[in-house]
Amino acid sequence: MVIDRIDTVCFRNIKKASLEFSESFNFISGSNAQGKTNLLEAIHFFSLGRSFRTRRYEELVQFGEEYFFLRLRGRSDTGIDIRLEAGYEKGGRIRGSVNGKRLSGIAEIIGIVPSVIFTAQDIEIASGPPGYRRTFLDYTAAQISPLFLSDLKEYRRVIRHRNSLLRRYAGNGDPRGELPAWDEMLVEKGAAIVKGREETLREISSRAARLYGQISPGAEELRLAYSCSFNAPGGDTREALREALENSRENERRRGYTLCGPQYDDILLTLGEAELRKYGSQGRRRLVAVILKLTQALTIMERRAERPVVLLDDIFSELDEETTVRVRKHLTDRYQSFITSPREDDFPEGKEKSARFRVLGGACERVAPI
């Protein structure tokens, strides 16, 4: 996918913008709080039919205004012209259209502009609590297998039902004998989640290691391993989950919620022999987080017939110059990318096709190369 141009009206602090993009690099600079990330948010909006920062559409409307409107023009990899529009008026519903055809729900827009975005908090994938790594893995798994996404939704539903049951009979057992059926369902769906995640990890771990080796030559090998909270490697997932449920029964009844299952699993990231989360430097963690996101992009490109666009929110500030050059080289010719930074000289003019933009107080303009 290549995005040729975007038009926005009253989106966040951007009153009005019409920008034409390069099919390769797009550098967006501007001081903090001027609207750089808002511009990325507008571009990324078409991937999910919502913002990556909030689920509330009201928050996207410019202060003092009543509505926002976004339009994207681009080309699919098969050469088809695409025009996407989305609009929202306070108190109303979000509406979207594809090539002039109204969508019955904005969710139908998902998949047209596949994208990978790296924002400030994504460093948590490398250094934060396990939830960030699970979300990363689940998102990647959903790109590979549509069945995984429905399994995941169903699993979450089972947990919610089961928790509600545990709360209702807190400490008083299970008078109507419902728990065993929900346990069995949890085991069934939980095993499917673990299987999907492990398969995904097998597929992406060598890809991530290769990419890390290219961008950080000579560094220790990056390894990704699934760390199951209730099962030893090689063990039978169903059996192990059944046993874990059995062992935590009393505790669960006292506490009123589910205490075992893949919602407690993690991905173990190691560099050589050292666990990244414990021993990695801030710079290493940041780089690994970027590598994982770029691996996601490679995986989407491999598995889907459409190249994702890559959006990187201020990633170069903590990477050294050589690494920056290698990341740029990796992006060139692979993806259309949108990269923000508070400093213009973060992007010395390279050989690649590029366009530069400056954001100042919500006004966006294309500027001449430096």
Partner 1 sequence: MNYGLPPLQDLIEYFKKLPGVGEKTARRLGFAILDMDDREVKGFAETLLQIKEKIGFCNRCGNFAEGEICGICSDKSRLEGILCIVERPADLYILEASGQYRGRYHVLHGVLSPLDGVGPDDLNLEKLKSRVDEEGIKELLIATNPSVEGDTTSLYIARMFKDRSIRVTRPARGIPLGSSLEFVDKSTISKALEKREPI
- Which residues of the shown chain bind partner 1 in the complex (CB under 8 A)? 145-147, 149-150, 154, 157-158, 160-162, 164-165, 168, 176-178, 180-182, 184-185, 188-189
- DSSP per residue, 275-334: EHHHH--HHHHHHHHHHHHHHHHHHHHHHSSSPPEEEEES-GGGS-HHHHHHHHHHHTTT
Q: Which is nearer to partner 1, 18 or 164 (CB)?
A: 164
From the CB of 242, what's the least distance to partner 1, in Å? 13
Structure token digits, residue 351: 């050989």
Q: Which is nearer to partner 1, 173 or 180 (CB)?
A: 180
Q: Are 204 and 295 in contact (CB under 8 A)?
A: yes
Q: Which is nearer to partner 1, 194 or 292 (CB)?
A: 194
Q: Which is nearer to partner 1, 56 or 93 (CB)?
A: 93
- How far is residue 198's CA from residue 202's CA, in Å, rounded to a whole number? 6
Return phi, psi of residue 217, to 5°: -60, 145
Q: Are 194 and 237 in contact (CB under 8 A)?
A: yes
From the CB of 246, what's the least distance to partner 1, in Å? 16
Q: Which is nearer to partner 1, 55 or 176 (CB)?
A: 176
Instruction: Mark out the alpha helices in the chain (DSSP H runs).
Output: 36-48, 124-127, 130-144, 146-168, 179-215, 237-255, 276-279, 282-303, 321-331
Query: What sign results for the dihedral spanned by CA atoms 267, 271, 272, 277?
Result: negative
Structure token digits, residue 107: 């969710």
Q: Which is nearer to partner 1, 93 or 168 (CB)?
A: 168
